[in-house]
Amino acid sequence: MESITLHNPLDMHLHLREGEILKTILPYSTDTFLGAVVMPNLKQPITDTRLAEAYYETIKKIANDFNPIMTIYLTNDLKKQDLQQAISKGFKILKLYPKGSTTNSSNGVENILDHKMQQILEIAQDLGFILSIHAESSGFSLDREYEFLKVFEYLSQTFPKLKIILEHMSDHRSIKVLDSFENIFATLTLHHITMDLDDLLGKGLNPHYFCKPILKTKKDKEMLLNLAITAHPKVSFGSDSAPHLLSTKLSSNASAGIFSAPFLLESLAELFEKHNALANLQKFISDNAFKNYNLSFKNQKTIVLKKQPCIIPESIACMDDKIIPLHAGKTLQWSLDKS
Ligand code: NCD
Ligand code: ZN
């Protein structure tokens, strides 16, 4: 095959940050994606409609044709009125971070199963929200997602009409939960379906492959890859592209996050071609998300990829520092056809 056409690609989990970093990285997503689910974990988290509106406007000012799908950072302080207001503005995704689980999650939820949170989720269910979860316990790194699965089982049964998304699925043991509960869905990143713990530390520690949830075993990678290349109907692509400046990546308390936004479609095309699954890429990159999140936009976007090598840059300058993209320096077999 010499060219691939993709319609309305969506990135269902994206960190866009703010200020100079936002300006630097946004074009990498807007060049290729029609829209993205924008994560709310800024330094001041997006905890209400007013903040979400302001963030939405900031993004739209830089990229008018891009469709930011805003998320509200779930806290115990959310009232019925706040939830009604969010829905009335079209903000229908709540993002749940267990307190302390990842970057900027200190305002996250301490006890998901307490009475207050149950009341909020009851209202969220009635109003038709989608609940996206950073699914990690505070236990042993490789078991954090697994230990969290019981929360999914509980929430799924208690709120059967609430759509619940297991974000950046990283553990093959989660697949059973995805398949057993009707209202549970998932997003998959490029890195969790192509890399494992050996990439992070098998040949010396590589901070650019350090992310939350942490990369896991070969078996996890392979089973999750299989969900992607078969375009499992309950799974959508969400890059979890999460840029950090090199200085913070190299500090002793290195920040978790992989900046994969540049070259996502080119990389996915190569991966799906390798597994003889190009016919399923459209579903994985767009159709499943439209269906599962009930989306519609005013505009459309068609992307054509051509069989021509391109090279991922070594670094991207930002704020007297730089950001290192995933697989910096690597040559890919597909490039964006800008003609
Ligand atoms: C994300 C970030 O840096 O904001 N980091 C990451 O490793 N994925 C937060 C998150 O999604 O966990
Ligand atoms: Zn994330």
Mean pLDDT of the chain: 96
pLDDT at 339: 78
The pLDDT-based confidence of 338 (bands split at 50, 70, 90) is confident
pLDDT at 105: 87
DSSP state letter for 258: B
Residue 226 assigned as binding residue:
no
* Least distant ligand from the CA of 242: 1
Dump the DSSP string for 263-289. THHHHHHHHHHHTT-GGGHHIIIIIHH
Taking the centre of ligand 1 as the mean of its atom positions, its distance from the CA of residue 276, in whole angstroms, is 31
Q: Is 248 exposed, middle or buried (0-12, 13-18, 19+ CB in 10 A)?
A: middle
Residue listed under structure tokens 């009930």: 294
Structure tokens at 193: 């379906």
**pLDDT reported for residue 292:** 98
Q: What residues flank ligand 1, with Cβ below 6 Å?
A: 15, 41, 102-103, 134, 211-212, 240, 242, 256-257
pLDDT, tens digit (0-9, with 9 covering 90-100), for 130-148: 999 999 999 999 999 999 9
Neighbour count for residue 31 (Cβ, 10 Å): 16
* Distance of CA 3 from the midpoint of ligand 1 (Å): 33
Q: Which atom of ligand 1 is nearest to the CA of 97?
A: 12
**Residue (of 235, 330, 334) closest to 292 by Cα position:** 235
Nearest CA to ligand 1 atom 5: 257
Q: What is the pLDDT of residues 244-275, one digit of tens each?
A: 999 999 988 889 999 999 999 999 999 999 99
**CB neighbourhood size of 7 (10 A):** 14
Ligand having the closest approach to the CA of 11: 2
CATH H-level superfamily of 3-336: Metal-dependent hydrolases (3.20.20.140)
Q: Assess whether 287 carries a catalytic annotation.
A: no
**With 80 as the cut, is the pLDDT of residue 74 above it?**
yes
Of all residues in the chain, what percent carry a pLDDT higher than 70? 100
Nearest CA to ligand 1 atom 9: 103
Q: Note the helical H segments in the chain.
A: 19-30, 49-62, 80-88, 115-127, 144-158, 175-180, 190-194, 197-201, 218-229, 246-249, 264-274, 281-282, 288-292
- The pLDDT score that the predictor gives to residue 183 is 98
* Structure tokens, 281: 């890429």
User: Which ligand gives the minimal distance to the CA of 36?
Assistant: 2
pLDDT in tens, 207-254: 999 999 999 999 999 999 999 999 999 999 999 999 999 999 998 888
- How far away, in angstroms, is 339 Cα from ligand 2 center? 33
Give the pLDDT band (50/70/90) at residue 51.
very high
Helices (H) and strands (E) in the chain, counts: 13, 13
For residue 1, pLDDT over 80 is answered with no
CA 35, CA 298: separation in Å to the nearest integer?
11
Average pLDDT of the residues in 192-198: 98
pLDDT at 169: 98
Average pLDDT estimate for 176-194: 98
Consult the annotation and say whether 186 binds a ligand. no
Tell me, in angstroms, the distance from the centre of ligand 1 to residue 241's CA.
8
From CA 135, how far away is CA 190, in angstroms rounded? 18
Pair of tokens at residue 86: 């969010």
Among the atoms of ligand 1, which is closest to the Cα of residue 210?
7
Burial pattern 187-225, b for ≥16 Cβ within 10 A else e, equals bbbbbbbbbbbeebeeeeeebbbbbbbbbbeeebbebbb
d(CA 286, CA 295): 10
174 neighbors 145 (Cβ within 8 angstroms): yes
Ligand 1 centre from 308 Cα, in Å? 32
Residue in the structure block whose two tokens are 């800024």:
42
pLDDT > 90? residue 160: yes
Cβ(164)–Cβ(129) below 8 Å: no
Residue bearing tokens 């044709």: 65
User: What is the average pLDDT across 161-165?
Assistant: 98
253 annotated as belonging to a binding site for a ligand: no
| Token output for 243 | 């840029």
Ligand 2 (ion): which residues have CB within 5 A?
A: 240
The model's confidence at residue 104, banded by pLDDT at 50, 70 and 90, is confident
Structural domain boundaries in the chain: 3-336
Q: Among the options 11, 171, 196, 240, which is catalytic?
A: 240
pLDDT band at 337 (very low <50, low <70, confident <90, very high): very high
Per DSSP, 186 falls in state E
- The per-residue pLDDT for 300 is 98
Band the pLDDT of 102: cuts 50, 70, 90.
Answer: confident
Task: Please identify, by atom number, the ligand 1 atom nearest to the C-alpha of residue 104.
Answer: 4
Separation of alpha carbons 122 and 40, rounded Å: 22
Give residue 307's pLDDT: 96
* Cα 54 from Cα 174, distance rounded (Å): 35
Annotated binding-site residue? 244 = yes
Encode pLDDT of 276-288 as tens digits: 999 999 999 999 9
Top pLDDT among 162 and 252 is at 162
Q: Rounded mean pLDDT of 109-113?
A: 89
Q: Can you tell me the distance from the alpha carbon of 309 to that of 109, in angstroms, rounded to the nearest whole number? A: 45
Please report the pLDDT score of residue 275 as a whole number: 98
- The predicted model scores a pTM of 0.98
pLDDT at 73 exceeding the cut of 80: yes
